[in-house]
Amino acid sequence: MMPRCALELLRRCSDSRRFNYLVDASKFGYRSISSSSPLTSGSPSCSSSIGYATSCATLSEAQPRQSHSSDMLVDSFGRFHNYLRISLTERCNLRCQYCMPAEGVELTPSSELLSHDEIIRVADLFVSSGVDKIRLTGGEPTIRKDIEDICLHLSSLKGLKTLAMTTNGIVLSKKLPKLKECGLNAINISLDTLVPAKFEFMTRRKGQGRVMESIDTAIELGYNPVKINCVVMRGVNDDEICNFVELTKLKPINVRFIEFMPFDGNVWNVKKLVPYAEMLDKVRGQFKDVKRLQDHPTDTAKNFKVDGHCGTISFITSMTEHFCAGCNRLRLLADGNFKVCLFGPSEVSLRDPLRAGVDDLELKEIIGAAVKRKKAAHAGMFDIAKTTNRPMIHIGG
């Protein structure tokens, strides 16, 4: 006989227009819906209205699977994932060309985004299972009205060591003092050019001066290093690489040069890609004694320091030299979908089971199964460019 909790769960999930997954008494199973597969009419909960690939729970005939917090975050290749990136919103006050299509994106209705309490509950589940670093992303996380309260609750989770944020810096200078009080202890600020007119071209908005002000505010508040994320594109800002390196001379800044990556709507072209090796050659051509630093096994970046400079520089080589073997990152999207690989199209909804009333053990089974399906490495550069994936603003920076 089916247990009462399972019957209740099935009752709650009986409205197929709201949920497109089924539950049996013992476990959640999964299937991957490709972008070409027909989507259930009126079922926004497990697939975006744009039709991107996701994974949702469905009836499974497999044997019950035992899941424990000790192995929930370990994939089939033995990688332990202690780093969770949480997107708080799909909205942004910039329109960066590599992040958002020129025509904009269809935003998820507010009612289908994770609430404050849902974010804290899921984060608590991950932290209690071994995650010790959370990064808040967007969209632009600072435009979420409850950002301070979210930081306060997350920073109080027992076992969390690092609460970080990636932001465009437009409104950060005013909010950062309070955010630091609420436990935000690491900051990445996106800045792709030091030229105000070029900033307006790249982001389709004004505001370069405000970003520079936010960088200075972060330094004054004691963030060390203040990380600057710079997406390098040929013919756009590759002529500024050495100017960015110069920023590290007197300030505790880590400039992170990021290879241009393909996402839906950003018109990626291999001709725009400036490979890491080429960027490093430019730096070494102008700065003498550029030293290679020791990287952590899970680092996404290759780290360097110019002799005599206060700060450092790094290169994130997602396209030319992937770092999948040491990947320890997982992503929770603003709509509650769980993504185990930035470049992988598969997603599984955590929001829908949450709202169906599942308990923590069942939620851990869903998470653990998704982590176990993570591949050894993402596809090659040109295969990534052809893979259906969401725009970066939907995924989270």
Report whether CATH 3.30.565.10 matches the domain 83-103+114-325. no
Which spans in 110-246 are helix H? 116-128, 147-155, 172-181, 196-203, 208-220, 241-246
pLDDT computed for residue 325 by the predictor: 87
Q: What is the DSSP string of 270-292?
A: GGGB--HHHHHHHHHHHSS-EEE
Report the candidate in 199, 254, 198, 250 with the shortest Cα–Cα distance to residue 228: 254
CB 333 within 8 A of CB 136: no
- Which of 39-48, 75-84, 161-170, 202-211 is the least confident region? 39-48
Q: What is the pTM of this model?
A: 0.78
More reliable by pLDDT, 345 or 366: 366
DSSP code, position 213: H
User: Domain-by-domain residue ranges, the chain?
Assistant: 21-70+343-395, 83-103+114-325
- Which of 40-54, 80-94, 189-203, 277-291 is the least confident region? 40-54
pLDDT computed for residue 324 by the predictor: 84
- The amino acid occupying position 188 is N
pLDDT computed for residue 343 by the predictor: 72
The token duo for 364 is: 């851990």
Provide the pLDDT confidence category of residue 91 given band limits of 50, 70 and 90.
Answer: confident
Report the candidate in 49, 60, 56, 13 with the shortest Cα–Cα distance to residue 33: 56
Q: Is the pLDDT of residue 27 over 70?
A: no
Which spans in the chain are helix H? 4-12, 116-128, 147-155, 172-181, 196-203, 208-220, 241-246, 276-286, 351-356, 360-372, 381-386, 392-395
